[in-house]
Amino acid sequence: MKLKYSLILLASAAFASCQDFLDRYPLEEPASSEFYSNEDELTLAVNGAYRSLYWLSNDDVPYQLFIDGATDIVYIRGTYANMTDMRRGEGSAETATFKTIWDTFYGYIARCNNLLDNMHNARGRVSETFYNRIEAQARFLRAYNYFYLVNLYGDVPFAEHVLDWQQPRLPKSPKAEIVARLYADLDFAKDHLPAKWTGNDAGRATRGAAFGLKARIALYANDYETAAAAADSVIQSKAYEIYPSYEKLFRHSGAGSSEAMLYMPFLLGTQTNQIPKYVGTRLANCYSIIVPTQVLVDMYQCTDGRRIDRSPAYDPKKPYENRDPRLGYSILYPGQWHAGYKFEVHPDSTKTSAVINGETVRINNTEVTNAYGTFTGYIEKKYYDESDVPGKITQCELNFMLMRYAEVLLTYAEARIELNRIDQSVIDAINAVRQRKDVMMPAATLSMSRDELRELVRYERTIELAMEGFRLLDIRRWKIVEHVLPGYMLGKRTKADWYTPVVPAFSDYGKPEYPDESIFQKLGFASFNRDIQYSWPIPQAEIDRNPLLKD
């Protein structure tokens, strides 16, 4: 049975996770005295731990797509995942999403610890190589879960073993201490995982993924030495390369490419996702729920490598021309064709064009006439493959990438810039991303100053990784949350000012600022709340159970 089946099907049936991980012993676990004693049982157990990769909403939409809704680059209609409240600084320790996410990660950590605590039963019964690879995968997956916990919540309880049911409560451990323990897990993992899995094992964590996760954890801990070294190990391995087409990277053809280092697999009959339903246009019978913002659109440079307020190539009457090609590959903007429909959002565009049975016809434009069409005037194109038949909108098999080589290159470049160790390797890393064959933005050069390179690599992280779940944690570690989130979320233009040319200015923190925001519909005001927007509060229900979690 292939790993894709194993991860999705077997794991969901085995090893029920401990939802109240910090409060009680997982009584549902198999008898440790008998289990974990042979290759089949260890494989089943580690496949259960791989469920860690499936951080999903109720409709099987990856939370990475929702979490950008807590930032300036994505708007989420309604109350989905409470992200709009978080962006506005309105959450609290009672917010349900905080507890749901907390329980999810600790539940998966419990699975990993259960395996690690009991796999000794198999010593002498399986080969040392097999045994070490099982342990390496479990430690990798535990580190993956802790990465999110420490970066979303800050200091949290750290458990490396299944808790004693008589003394289940743990105090918080400082983030720095947890990070050091995660390094140890990932060092073990990289020493025992293969560079590549083959056959039925393809898709498991690799040595490169272990280095990549270590680089990511270190970058978010501002440990630039470790981040640069770990990222460089991935680069020097030459195991990965940039996929030539950004446009196709997030379709079936690119999802399993040599750029994908770790991914969330989906398969019809076992587990599918509804990403297209949430991001797609109403014209394609989708919901237009998770949508890009005007701020994100205006962040894309012009083809000369300059911001739109600085570039002579920018024409506010034709705002989508002469722009970084990733804009058109990532975001559906007015006038584009997608999924057989012409996307138009002007209030008077109650009709639009569609290709039906090979002919172009006029149809009702539900993206305008439906009250729940896109509120920003844009649609996300990532992870919507137009080749999928309509039925795949709610049963999508497109893998979701959790780590890709472009991120590692940008981590290496940023870490070296922050260390002020700028050489040609830094420039090459940036340009490998920036000059993908179907992107070809102007190259970075060694003549650029450190501040210019820092601004450029932050631009690349924002644009290259847009709508992939990195923005919230990036603006936190860059310490710019209070400078980019407060204010109104801007929706579609008002009808009276639909065609009014406007060129935003940009703040020192890269935020587009408009001379007259009244030309836009308003989608809610965000206030800065450090207690929510720099780290999420530990759920009150957990504090009530465990007083050691109080500040």
DSSP 8-class letter at 479 = T
Average pLDDT, rounded, for the chain: 93
What is the tens place of the pLDDT at every residue in 355-387?
A: 999 999 999 999 999 999 999 999 999 999 999
Residue pair 489/522 in contact by the 8 Å Cβ criterion:
yes
Does residue 39 sit within a domain? yes
Does residue 343 sit within a domain? yes
Does residue 342 sit within a domain? yes
Residue 470 pLDDT > 50, yes or no? Answer: yes
pLDDT band at 458 (very low <50, low <70, confident <90, very high): very high
Distance CA 482, CA 145 (A): 27
Residues 171 and 280 in one domain: no
pLDDT band at 182 (very low <50, low <70, confident <90, very high): very high
Residues 171 and 320 in one domain: no
Q: Tell which of 396, 431, 462 closes a domain.
A: 396
For helices 96-118 and 39-49, the axis angle rounded to 10 degrees is 160
Mean pLDDT of 296-325: 98
434-454 burial, b at 16+ Cβ within 10 Å, e below that, comes to bebeebebeebeeebeeeebb
Mean pLDDT of 386-393: 91
Does residue 221 sit within a domain? no
This prediction's pTM: 0.94
What is the tens place of the pLDDT at every residue in 479-506?
A: 999 999 999 999 999 999 999 999 999 9
Residues 200 and 292 in one domain: no
Residues 133 and 27 in one domain: yes
Give Cβ neighbours of residue 23 (< 8 Å, ≥ 6 apart).
168, 169, 542, 545, 546
Closest CA to 433 of 472, 462, 460, 455: 460
Residues 46 and 172 in one domain: yes
Distance CA 449, CA 277 (A): 44
Does residue 124 sit within a domain? yes
Q: What angle do CA 418, 227, 161 make, to 5 degrees?
A: 140
Residues 198 and 281 in one domain: no
Report in angstroms the alpha-carbon separations of 425 from 46, 257, 431, 445: 37, 24, 10, 11
Residues 196 and 284 in one domain: no
Does residue 75 sit within a domain? no
Check residue 58 and give its pLDDT: 83
Check residue 321 and give its pLDDT: 98
Mean pLDDT of 528-532: 94
**DSSP, residue by residue, 397-449:** ---EEEEEHHHHHHHHHHHHHHTT---HHHHHHHHHHHT-TTT-PPPP-TTS-
* CATH code at position 8: 1.25.40.390
Q: Tell which of 378, 396, 414 closes a domain.
A: 396
Residues 197 and 321 in one domain: no
Q: Tell which of 396, 426, 445 closes a domain.
A: 396
Distance CA 416, CA 224 (A): 7
Check residue 534 and give its pLDDT: 96
What is the tens place of the pLDDT at every residue in 184-241?
A: 999 999 999 999 999 889 899 999 999 999 999 999 999 999 999 999 999 999 999 9
Residues 18 and 166 in one domain: yes
pLDDT band at 1 (very low <50, low <70, confident <90, very high): very low
Does residue 10 sit within a domain? yes
Distance CA 272, CA 265 (A): 9
Residues 280 and 177 in one domain: no
Q: What's the token pair of residue 348? A: 């008077």
What is the tens place of the pLDDT at every residue in 102-151?
A: 999 999 999 999 999 999 999 999 999 999 999 999 999 999 999 999 99
Closest CA to 185 of 157, 213, 222: 213
Structural domain of 303: 275-396
For the chain, give the percent of residues with pLDDT over 70. 94
Does residue 380 sit within a domain? yes
Residue 255 pLDDT > 90, yes or no? Answer: no
Distance CA 117, CA 463 (A): 42
Total domains present in the chain: 2
pLDDT band at 278 (very low <50, low <70, confident <90, very high): very high
Q: Tell me which of 298 and 32 has the higher pLDDT.
A: 298
Which amino acid does the sequence have at 147? Answer: F
Residues 14 and 133 in one domain: yes
Check residue 14 and give its pLDDT: 38
Residue 25 pLDDT > 50, yes or no? Answer: no
The percent of the chain in helix, strand and coil, each rounded to the nearest 5, is 45, 10, 45
Check residue 33 and give its pLDDT: 57
Residues 390 and 539 in one domain: no
